[in-house]
């Protein structure tokens, strides 16, 4: 990922659509759109995706991200 961030600039906006907690686990889902611009040739592409995150509560009570998944969607209907 470090090399990717060196080669590409990302400007993203999105939102959580929901969060549910069940005992020591929580899930969150939402969407985002990004403008990705390569640093070398300044070509840009806009991406849209929906995502799902799984968190696990740690012994000290904090939450740690344990899993993440996402899927590209076509805009504008797939991402608000």
Structural domain contains residue 34: yes
- The number of folded domains in the chain is 1
Overall pTM surpassing 0.85 (yes/no): no
At residue 5, the pLDDT reads: 87
**What average pLDDT does the segment 54-74 reach?**
96
Helix (H, G, I), strand (E, B) or coil at 23: coil
Whether residue 42 lies inside any domain: the answer is yes
Dihedral (CA of 37, 51, 14, 79) sign: positive
pLDDT tens for each residue of 1-59: 788 889 999 999 999 999 999 999 999 999 999 999 999 999 999 999 999 999 999 99
Q: What is the CATH number of the domain that holds 64?
A: 3.10.450.50
Cα 47–51–8 angle (5° rounding)?
40
Those residues whose C-beta lies under 8 Å from the C-beta of residue 55, and which sit 6 or more positions away, are 25, 26, 27, 28, 63, 64, 65, 66
* Residue 79 included in any domain: no
SS3 75: coil
Banded model confidence at residue 77, pLDDT cuts 50, 70, 90: low
Inside any domain, residue 77: no
Query: Does 14 fall in a domain?
Result: yes
* Beta bridge partner(s), residue 67: 54
- Domain extent, residue 21, equals 2-72
Residue 80 has pLDDT above 60, yes or no: no
């Amino acid at each position: 990922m470090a090399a990717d961030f060196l080669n590409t600039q990302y400007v993203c906006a999105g939102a959580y659509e929901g969060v549910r907690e069940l005992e020591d686990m929580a899930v969150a889902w939402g969407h985002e759109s990004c403008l990705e611009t390569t640093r070398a040739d300044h070509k840009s592409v806009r991406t849209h995706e929906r995502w799902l995150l799984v968190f696990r509560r740690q012994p000290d009570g904090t939450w740690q991200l344990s899993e993440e998944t996402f899927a590209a969607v076509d805009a504008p209907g797939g991402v608000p």
